[in-house]
Amino acid sequence: MSNTTTAPPPAWGDPRLSAAEARSLAALCARMIPASAAHGVPGADDPLIQADIARSLGRDAQAVHDTLALLERIAGGGFAGLAAARQDAACATLRAEGGTGLTVLGRIVLQCYYRDDRVMLSLGMEPRPPFPKGHALPQGDWSLLDPVRARGRIWRDAPGGG
Structural domain containing residue 120? 19-128
In a domain, residue 120? The reply is yes
In a domain, residue 53? The reply is yes
pLDDT at 41: 96
- Binning pLDDT at 50, 70 and 90, where does residue 10 land? low
pLDDT at 28: 98
In a domain, residue 100? The reply is yes
Model-level pTM?
0.76
In a domain, residue 46? The reply is yes
Q: Rounded distance, CA 157 to CA 162, Å?
A: 7
In a domain, residue 78? The reply is yes
Q: What is the tally of structural domains in the chain?
A: 1
User: Tell me: the pLDDT tens digits for 74-111?
Assistant: 999 999 999 999 999 999 999 999 999 999 999 999 99
In a domain, residue 144? The reply is no
- Measured at the alpha carbon of residue 13, what is the angle toward residues 5 and 81, in degrees to the nearest 5? 110
Per DSSP, the residues of 75-120 read HTS-GGGS-HHHHHHHHHHHHHH-HHHHHHHHHHHHHHHTTSHHHH
In a domain, residue 29? The reply is yes
